[in-house]
Structure formats: structure tokens, C-alpha cells
Structure 1
């Protein structure tokens, strides 16, 4: 990056909010993937207008610009281009409008997701998308990746709660999309186009989000099974009920071993090799009926144990094992490759069998868990980067995994996105016409190619 460009950013934001010291550059050189790429400068805007000025300056100097929330993504979406600029939204945390009577909230992109829900809870409302990182992730990152979470099976993902956006295109233009009403069909739906575009079309600075009534009560069932196929059969029965559970989570035998090692699943039978967690919510008077029907659905071949939780302490205790999985698996190997593939729910058992075959054929440790009610599994390859042979076997395993997922009618990502990690495989899922049209859309929004280059699409 030229000294003129660096001077321009510092003149626009001030030296304290345009940082090019080594410590800051290294701090913002990575996200939750193991790679690191050193930017030339890190920028901390406070307003939409400052973001606009940054994008215009980046375009003028042809500087790659990577937007960043909390850096908690798993696919390298916030990894900067070496020598480019990082634009961090962490200083843009204002709640611009809160209208509980309209069930909406308008926030800057740096707001923490869990804080948005906390504000809504004061009026009996909720912001329902709940990625596992919600206590610290930022809404801008959720919007960029269309984040999900355990409760997406009933309540949907981030995109389903976005009414409108304010953003800056790669041309440096202000774009305002959407409406603040529950209905609106004027023009193309640019709001839904931007959500999940991974910062490649425009930088979202503000979002108007839909709030919903907070569920009055909830309860949880945790069921242990002798084999994964028994748990998969139970998932199919659960999802065929006349109402939707609010969460259906799965853990395989390797995931159970990981959490047992942390002392978080001591109450489970030693012989259990799969676990389901099914949560229901709604009016308190209706929960006993829902629990009874779900208990019947969970019963069947291979069931070893069912535990109930209806007060908040008991529910938290039952969730403890699931919430401990990410740190537990990270502690098992020097590197965790976390894929979030999705298949139709009836094909979940086929996917798990294929994963076991991959692990055996390639002599790999693979831990699988995730959102079974959506058919969304987090498939974690536990590897040692210092072992070249193991890394080659992992590459073959990933290739086979993605091919199997697509053959089963699935998709490469359910909530983590594509980023830089999975973009080489995108051509397997998108047909050439679709890929060509999407590249053309990218060119319309960002003709100079400065917004998050090297992400989402394979090399042309």
C-alpha cells in the first residue's frame, strides 16, 4: 500500500482510528481459521459516512478492503488480503432506533448479537437468530454470513429477521434496501441478496431487524442412543410431528467422548454412542403435551435414556455438554477443520455412515455434531499441520465429504459461509450459468473488485 493511501486513511479517520503499527496489524491478521495474513492498515470507522469515505479511497487506490466484525468466523471470511486494509465495525455499536410497538430495532453493524436480544427482552420480545457465538459476535458478521444456530429449525436464520439495510457499494454509493413493514414487494429483493454475500457486494453499516414475541416457556429432552442410526431414526420421527421443536441437536460417539473428557456428560450411560437434544417452547400450559409427544417420538430402537429439564437450571445443565463441544474438540488436536455441511433430514444417517467410512479409509479423527433438525452437521477433522501425510489424507477426506454431501442432495454450507476456505468447491454446487450471473452481479456492485476479494467464488 502506498504511503499516499495510508496518509489518506489517517487524514480521513485520524491516526488513532487508522492504525498501521505492527501489533494492531497482527491482531487483525486472522479470524477463527488457523491462517494469518498481515494487512497494511486497520481502520475503525464510527459512521456510515466514514465507511463511505474509506470505500471511495480504497477504490481510488485499488486497495483490497476486508470488513470485519468480531473475527469469529470459521471459513476465512474476515482474513484480509496481504498488504490490504481491514475495516473493523467494532466501534459502530449504536442502537439507532428501538420500536417495540412495531417489533423492530435498527442498529449499526458493530452491535453484539446477544445484546440486541437482551434489549428486546425488556419488552417481552426476542431477536431469535442465536449463533453459538452470540455473546460476542457482531450483527454485521451475522448478516455477511447469514448466520444460523440451534434454534433455526423453528425460527429460521439471520436473513429471516432483516427488514432493511443501509450499505456502501464498491462504487462508494449509499444503498438503502427493504422496508420497515411486514410486507413489501417493490423491486428486486436486494436485502436478501446482500445478506449472506460475505461483504463482497457492499458493506452493511446499519440493519433494521424484525423482533418477535419471546417464547413464554421452554423445556428440553436429552436422549442417549446405542448407535447413530438409532438417533437418526428418532430425528425423522421428531420432525414428522404436527409442530416444530425449537431445537434438535445431535452428537456422535466421538463428540460424546470429547465432552466426557471435560466432565460435561457424566450422567449418560457409558454405552451411549449418540445423543439427541430436543427443545420445545411456547405457552407453559402447552409444554406437557409437546413433551409427551416428543418423548414418544424419541422412543424406539436403541434408546438408552431420556432426561427432562423444565426449569432454567435443569435446561442449562442439559445444554452444558453441547455448549462445551467447541472448546473440547479444539483441545483434541493442533488444528480443527470445521465444515458445516447440510443434507435433507432423511439422508442424515447416510451422511454419518459416509463420514465414518472417510475416517476409516483415511485414518482420520472426525467429530460430528450439529443441528440435526435442519440436516446441518458440523464435521470436524482433527489434524496436525506438522504432519504432511495427515494433511494430504484430510484433503482427500474433505473432497470426498463434499462430493458425498452434494450427491445426497445437500449443500456445502448451512451457516458458516464459503469465505476463502471452501471457494474452490463452489463450482461443484453452482451450475455455470448461475456462477456466471453471480460474477456479473459482483461486477455491478463492486466494479473495481476492492470488496473482500478472494472470497466466496473460485478463481475465474
Structure 2
């Protein structure tokens, strides 16, 4: 697509030279995300201030031009792909940490701040922001908020919705507003903050966030538990979460995930039917008792070995192997359908067993790993597009996965969002009244349907 003369003039009136582009050779690289989907935008802009975003939305509304917010493109559902063209708003230059306020346990940041950079800035103050996606070194806070992306620590500390106090944003009408508080308590009006988080940029463009901080724990300990079968590991997850001590991470890896981790440098990964990585944190004088309680729950039928990491280096090596899994899956099959379904923790054993049966029935390899402590399993369907039988079976296999998840009382996404790839399945997960209410909310924030069109809500 090519930008119209009106759009080019509008952008030139808002942004300095070098802060926008309408050159197709430059804009195309902003038309993709980690879903491997791609579409060409008409323009890309690089705002550095809230007022530029306000002016941009007003101009795009006047011209009828779609707007798609973008962080660093780590999303796996196509949520940042500009399927209707328009303007991609890359927030990479709005990357200031505006304020760190230890006394009130908050930080104010712009959306382009990298998750990892924020954690590094907070650590000297003795705090952290709990959401920690696998992509934390290069994903942005704005992207985390857009998809409510969490990571392993969510089992104890919650996702972005539980760790965000307030937002500044620009609605699709061009109106700018603030919502939320600088306090941890507030009961004044509707909670627009939680509404915008997870909305995938379909309601408003977030330009600033006030984040709730948590003190860094004094100590942490990582346990590695291996099991003879996937089912015995899944049952251990239920036992661990049924006792009072909450781990700060509880990760599940099935046999295929373990094999892959070993093949990609995970020398510390043993041969087993399944493995749990269980991390506990707290103060040094109480941590031992917490670890003992978790270890007792982890023991049971099928346990091969339960060991603690000897030091931080060994723990880091185990975590590195876990975090390398998602990109390494591309080495098995060039096409990966990457889902992040969630079921109640007590139903995890049924989910894992059901996924194995679906894999066998459709002859599609499925690799499972993820945040088992809150029932959030990353289900990876792997196939080769040149294999006609596999390519034909993949859609039915995915539908069977979603049917299983919903039958177990679960939902379609825990942290990746809906984007392009799951929107057609949303009517299976939500009733007609809920969908109608969501469409009416969308119409209030974005009456012209210009914010991230074609995403989240089905047609």
C-alpha cells in the first residue's frame, strides 16, 4: 500500500523528519510479528510524546486511516500485523522510565520501555515488576499491557492487571484520558485500567503506565523434579497447588520438550517422562520451610528425582534451557501453531492426557510446556507445510485442542492474547451477550473501528 497525499501531509505536520516513514522499503519491516504473519502498512511513526499520539489519532480519524500500536513485535498471534494497512505506531522511542517511587511502591513508564530494562532499573531500589515473559529482554511494557502477558512468576504475583495502578491513553475518538490511581486502593468509578489491559490496542493507545512494584525477595531456591510419565508430573502440579505455600514459579515440560531442551544446549536437563521446575522465594530464615512444604507435595507416584539447584549458576542454566524452548521449536518443524491455553489447575492432568490423545488421533506432534502453576500450558502443534496430510489435519487438530480446553472449564489464552489467529474461536469461549457487550464497548472507545481492525473480536 502507499500513503495518500493527505496522510503524508498530516504526518509531516505532526512528526519531525526521521520520526515517520512512508517508504515501503522501510515500513514493511514494521508489518510483522512473531506469528510470522505480515502485511504492509501505509506508514510507520515513531512518537516521542503523548501529544504526538493525540494529534496522530485525530488526523487518522479525520482521514479514515487505521492505526496499529506496536512494541517490539514479539506477539505470537498476529496482534500487531496491520491487516488493513494504515499507520503502525512504533512506541520504541517512547522508552523513558519517568519515575521510580520506592516510598509508594510504584514506577511510571512509557510504553516502549523494555521489560528487562525496567527490572534492571528497579533492582538497585530493592523492587521488581512481577510480569516476566520469556521475551523480557526485548519485549516492551506496552506490549505486556496490551496482551496482559505475564510469565512464570504470575502464579504467585499475578499478571499485568494485578500489577498496574493506572494508565494514560488516547481513545479511538482522539480523546486523551487518565484512568486508575497512584494508590493501591481505589473504588471510584469503573475500572478502565483493567479494561484497557489485554485489549490488544483495540480500545486506546497506551502512552504511559503507573506500575505497582513488589519488593525483591531476600532469597530463592529452584527445585527440579523429574517423573516417569507426563501424568505423574501433572498430578504433582495439582498436589503442589493444593497446599498453602505458593511457589513463585511452577513450570511443566513434557518428554518432547525435555528432548528439545537437551538438543539445544540444556546439558542440565535429564531424560525423563516429564519435569517440573519449581521455584520458591522469600526471606532466608523462612525459605527452607517453604521449600520443604513444596518438596513434600512434589513427591508421589512416578517421581524419579527431586533435587535443588546447587547455586545461582545452575539455576540460571535450567531457566535458560526452559526459555530457549519456544524459539527452538522452529528447528523441529517450520510451521508452529503456538497456543497458550488455560485450565483450572486441578484439570491439568486431564488436559495433558487429552492433548496426547489428540496428537495421536491427528498425527500432529504436540509439544507441551508452560506455567502449570496457574494452569497455563503452551501447546505447540508442529507440522511441515509440504506434508499435505499434516497441513490438512492441523486446523482440525487445533479445533480439538480448543474443544478440550473449554470442556475442562478453561479458556483460549492466558497471556498471548487473541489477535488474528484465535478470533474465529472466540464465540466458542464467550456467550453471545458477552460478545455483544464487548462490541458496544469497542464502539464507545473507537466508533470508527480504526484501532487495530481485524483483531480480537470476530466479525
Structure 1: how far apart are the matches of 2:320 and 2:34?
A: 22
TM-score by length of 2: 0.97
RMSD: 1.2
**Residue 119 of structure 2 is aligned with which of 113, 117, 120?**
117
Aligned to 1:404: 404
Structure 2: how far apart are the matches of 1:64 and 1:384?
A: 34
**Residue 246 of structure 2 is aligned with which of 241, 244, 247?**
244
Aligned to 1:50: 52
Aligned to 1:381: 381
Structure 2: how far apart are the matches of 1:127 and 1:439?
A: 32
TM-score by length of 1: 0.97
For residue 385 of structure 1, report the CA deviation from its aligned partner: 2.8
How many residue pairs get aligned? The number is: 457
For residue 67 of structure 1, report the CA deviation from its aligned partner: 0.3
Mapping of 1:408-423 within 5 angstroms? 408-423=408-423
In the TM superposition, what whole-angstrom CA distance separates every residue of 1:358-378 from its partner, at most 9, and x where no partner exists?
A: 111111111000001011100
Structure 1: how far apart are the matches of 2:269 and 2:250?
A: 20
In the TM superposition, what whole-angstrom CA distance separates every residue of 1:205-228 from its partner, at most 9, and x where no partner exists?
A: 000111111111000100111101
Structure 2: how far apart are the matches of 1:267 and 1:177?
A: 46
Structure 2: how far apart are the matches of 1:391 and 1:85?
A: 33
Structure 2: how far apart are the matches of 1:145 and 1:351?
A: 24
Structure 2: how far apart are the matches of 1:175 and 1:403?
A: 39
**Which runs of no fewer than 5 residues in structure 1 stay unpaired?**
none
Aligned to 2:6: 4
Aligned to 2:164: 162
Aligned to 2:30: 28
The question of 1:448 aligning with 2:452 is answered: no
Aligned pair in 2 of structure 1 residues 397, 7: CA closer, same or farther (>3 Å)? same
For residue 388 of structure 1, report the CA deviation from its aligned partner: 4.0
Aligned to 1:353: 353
**Conserved 8 A contact 2:234-2:352:** no
The question of 1:83 aligning with 2:85 is answered: yes
Structure 2: how far apart are the matches of 1:187 and 1:332?
A: 50
Structure 2: how far apart are the matches of 1:146 and 1:375?
A: 16
Aligned to 1:337: 337
**Conserved 8 A contact 1:40-1:82:** no
Structure 1: how far apart are the matches of 2:59 and 2:428?
A: 36
Deviant stretches of 4+, over 4 Å: none
Aligned to 2:327: 327
Aligned to 2:152: 150
SS in 1 for 2:281: strand
Structure 2: how far apart are the matches of 1:263 and 1:61?
A: 52
Greater mean alpha carbon deviation, residues 433-442 or residues 237-246: 237-246
For residue 328 of structure 1, report the CA deviation from its aligned partner: 2.0
